[in-house]
Amino acid sequence: RATTPASLLQPLAFLLKHGLHSNPLVLTRLFSAAGSAAPALLEPLVAALLRPGLPLDAFLLNTLIRAHVASPLPSARRRAAAFFPLMLRRGVAPNKFTFPFLLKSCAAMPGSPAAGLQAHAAALKFGFAADHYVSNTLIHMYSCFGAGFLGDARNVFDRTPKDSAVTWSAMIGGYVRGGLSSDAVMLFREMQASGVRPDEVTVLGVLSAAADLGALELTRWVERFVAREGIGRSVTLCNALIDTLAKCGDVDGAVAVFEGMEERTVVSWTSVIDALAMEGRGKEAVAVFEEMKAVGVPPDDVAFTGVLTACSHAGMVDEGRGYFDSMKTEHGIEPKIEHYGCMVDMFGRAGMVEQGLDFVRAMPMKPNPIIWRTLVAACRAHGRLELGESISRDLLKEYPAHEANYVMLSNVFALTQRWKEKSEIRREMSKRGITKVPGCSLVELDGEVHEFIAGDESHPQYKEIYRMVEEMSRELRRIGHIAATSEVLLDLDEEDKEGALQWHSEKLAIAFVLLRTPPGTQVRVVKNLRVCSDCHAAIKCISQVYNREIIVRDRSRFHRFKDGSCSCKDFW
């Protein structure tokens, strides 16, 4: 069997010499070997050998679809579905093996759902839509098309016999991909009640949902479940556990899983480095990175993103510069825009705005809007408001449809007390139909995830929660905390709630946990936006007044509040 491009050429020459290139069985094996051993040769071979007069059968055409779907080349994957119309034109009847391959090829083209709908119609026409493998692939395909097609995936799921973990895993994975992680967790619980034993794929889907929700209790339960049920702790599963525990705030638990692994990949090392970086434990992250190199695991570009992020969040500028320079000089890795972004963030956090600007101007590629917004944030934090305004205006001219650019310029106007210009920015947003992302915070309690939106009153206990927030405000005033009213003008665009800072979503979430848990219980919150300065200062005081450890994961890092201080040392 051919395992390399070179080993494929000898049998190719043999079949051409002996006139076997018109034999469908021989071509089937050739195309299958090319798909696995020499993907770059697959399309040229098909173009040369799949001639109009060649007799075709389902085995050959199914192999072609499968080989193209599995190809690492986008051009080959896009062509996979084209062999099905050829099958119909040549009068070859599809079989039950045709449609799983065909539907996978459609799933690989999420921007073209029409092809998938046609494939589903064909499966119905030829009587294969009820086949178990076809149904499972249909669920996967529809979920790959985006949240708008999850209803179609669920309709197929509801009509499919649910005696296989594959069926449940496909729908659970679909919910996770569509951003409906709570639905994924609920479906997993239904799966348990049905008596179907989850497999590794199911567990990986549930861990993805738990990471998205910050559901630490669920993650720990899954870890115990894997041990109890004898599900093998593969490297992939352990890597997922490390990532999920870290994203749920249990970095020490993530490190423990890593240390217990018999086999580690670069993904394992990178996951731990990222986990430590997100919590501001830069020196530990750097130590792990150095250990990785010492044991002979060469760092890849993702590992460098992790260690640069660690240096940035910990204020380790000199170390970060050294690692960035070593990418090319020691490891032959060309820095990508993500690495340049880490460096700009590092300079900005350290107050080195001019160095950050010089670094951006010297970049070998065009800076993206994220890099410019990172500089604006640094200008705002370190009083370079004129420069921040100039960059924000340039961003608005080039990217007028992105709400973050309006918010940043509005924030600069608020800091300089230019209320008229700030109002004009908001009117311009309204005129363009640009909406702002509302602040949203999640907490897990007794196995259930609760969601809070700034100023929202949809929670069944909202009256008690609001009373608790008011009590928290009184306690904070009692110890001398004064709300940063300027922050109302700055970050209210993110929270989308005109009014007091006390109704920000993370404060509602914390109040709920204080109400529902005994004294001393740890509070864990996941927020979709950056924690504003007032909430950061307030939560430090809350941790002191109520003697609670409070962990908040926002869109950029973890904050561990305890005894009136934060792990980020107010550097975020």
Residue 81 included in any domain = yes
Mind listing the pLDDT tens digit for each residue in 353-378?
A: 999 999 999 999 999 998 998 888 88
Confirm whether 261 is domain-assigned: no
Both 469 and 561 in a single domain? yes
For 318, the token pair is 């000199």
Q: Which residue has the higher pLDDT, 8 or 202?
A: 202
Any alpha helices (H) in 160-199, and if so which ranges? 165-177, 181-194
Q: Closest Cα to residue 371, out of 350, 396, 391, 398?
A: 391
DSSP state letters, 320-380 = HHHHHHHHHHTT-PPP-HHHHHHHHHHHHHTT-HHHHHHHHHT-SSPPPHHHHHHHHHHHH
pTM metric for this prediction: 0.84
Mean pLDDT across 265-275? 95
The model's pLDDT over 324-345, given as tens digits with 9 standing for 90+, comes to: 999 999 999 999 999 999 999 9
401, 485: one domain: no
Over 70: is that where the pLDDT of 205 sits? yes
Last residue of a domain, one of 137, 161, 185: 161
Domain that holds residue 515: 440-566
Q: Are residues 8 and 135 both part of a single domain?
A: yes
Residue 532 has pLDDT above 90, yes or no: no
User: How high is the pLDDT of residue 3?
Assistant: 57
Of these ranges, 12-16, 34-38, 304-308, the one predicted with the greatest mean pLDDT is 304-308
Q: Evaluate whether residue 99 is within a structural domain.
A: yes
**112 and 149: one domain?**
yes
pLDDT value of residue 12 = 74
Residues 424, 499, single domain; the answer is no
Q: Are 42 and 72 in contact (CB under 8 A)?
A: no
pLDDT for 434 equals: 73
Domain boundary among 130, 146, 161: 161
Which range, of 239-253, 396-410, 555-569, averages the lowest pLDDT? 396-410
Question: Do 486 and 371 have their domain in common?
Answer: no
| Cα angle 228-230-232, degrees, rounded to a multiple of 5 | 130
* Count of structural domains, the chain: 3
Do 245 and 523 touch, CB atoms closer than 8 A?
A: no
Encode pLDDT of 285-305 as tens digits. 999 999 999 999 999 999 999
In a shared domain, residues 546 and 520: yes
Please report, for residues 135, 192, 324, 355, the alpha-carbon distance to residue 197 in angstroms, rounded to integers and kept in the order given: 19, 7, 46, 56
Beta bridge partners of 451: 442
Does the pLDDT at position 490 exceed 60? Answer: no
CB 553 within 8 A of CB 567: no
Domain assignment of residue 518, yes or no? yes
Q: What is the pLDDT of residues 129-186, one digit of tens each?
A: 999 999 999 999 999 999 899 999 999 999 999 999 999 999 999 999 999 999 999 9
| Token pair of 414 as six digits | 């608020």
Between CA 52 and CA 49 the distance in angstroms is 9
The candidate with the shortest Cα–Cα distance to 60, out of 4, 75, 68, is: 68
Is there a domain that residue 287 lies in? no
Tokens, residue 444: 């897990």
Place of tokens 């670069």: 266
On whether residue 305 sits in a domain, the answer given is no
Name the more confident of 488 and 224: 224
pLDDT band at 502 (very low <50, low <70, confident <90, very high): low
Q: What stretches of 453-504 show up as alpha helix (H) in DSSP?
A: 462-478, 485-495
Of residues 124 and 500, more confidence is placed in 124
79 belongs to a structural domain: yes
**Other Cβ atoms closer than 10 A to 269:** 25
**Any domain includes 327:** no
Task: State which of 412, 436, 460 marks the end of a domain.
Answer: 436
67 in Cβ contact with 42 (< 8 Å) = yes
pLDDT averaged over every residue in the chain: 89
Nearest to 414 by CA among 392, 446, 385: 385
pLDDT classification of 488: cutoffs 50, 70, 90? very low
**Better pLDDT: 5 or 476:** 476
Same domain assignment for residues 10 and 137: yes
97 and 23 co-located in one domain: yes
What is the predicted pLDDT for the residue at 487? 44
β-bridge partners, 243: none
User: 23-30: long-range contacts (C-beta < 8 A, 24 or more apart)?
Assistant: 24/54, 24/55, 24/56, 24/57, 24/59, 24/60, 25/59, 25/60, 27/54, 27/60, 28/59, 28/60, 28/63
Over 60: is that where the pLDDT of 489 sits?
no
Are β-strands 523-527 and 550-553 bridged in parallel, bridged antiparallel, or unpaired?
parallel
pLDDT at 495: 42
CA distance 32 to 30: 5
Query: At 253, is the secondary structure helix, strand, or coil?
Result: helix
What local confidence, expressed as pLDDT, does residue 17 receive?
Answer: 72
CATH code, 416: 1.25.40.10
Q: Do 448 and 492 fall into the same domain?
A: yes
Q: Which two tokens stand for residue 224?
A: 């115990």
Is the pLDDT at 496 greater than 60? The verdict is no
In tens, the pLDDT along 106-123 reads 998 888 899 999 999 999
498, pLDDT greater than 60? no
Q: Are 200 and 237 in contact (CB under 8 A)?
A: yes
Tell me, what's the pLDDT at 143?
Answer: 96
pLDDT at 456 over 90: no
Question: How high is the pLDDT of residue 483?
Answer: 62
The pLDDT value given to residue 420: 77
Q: How far is CA 262 from CA 257, 258, 267, 509, in A?
A: 10, 9, 14, 39
Q: CA-CA distance, 267 to 445, in Å (whole number)?
A: 31
Q: What is the mean pLDDT of residues 237-265?
A: 95
Give pLDDT, residue 572.
60
The rounded radius of gyration (Å) of the Cα atoms in the chain is 28
pLDDT digits (tens, 9 = 90+) for 65-79: 999 999 999 889 989
Full strand arrangement of the beta sheet holding 550-553: 448-453, 440-445, 523-527, 550-553, 558-562, 565-566
Rounded to 5°, angle at Cα 425 from 421 and 426: 120
The proportion of the chain whose per-residue pLDDT surpasses 90, expressed as a percent, equals 63
Strand partners, 444: 449
82 three-state secondary structure: helix
Q: Do 383 and 527 lie in a common domain? A: no
Q: What is the mean pLDDT of residues 376-384?
A: 83
Please check whether residues 410 and 523 belong to one and the same domain.
no
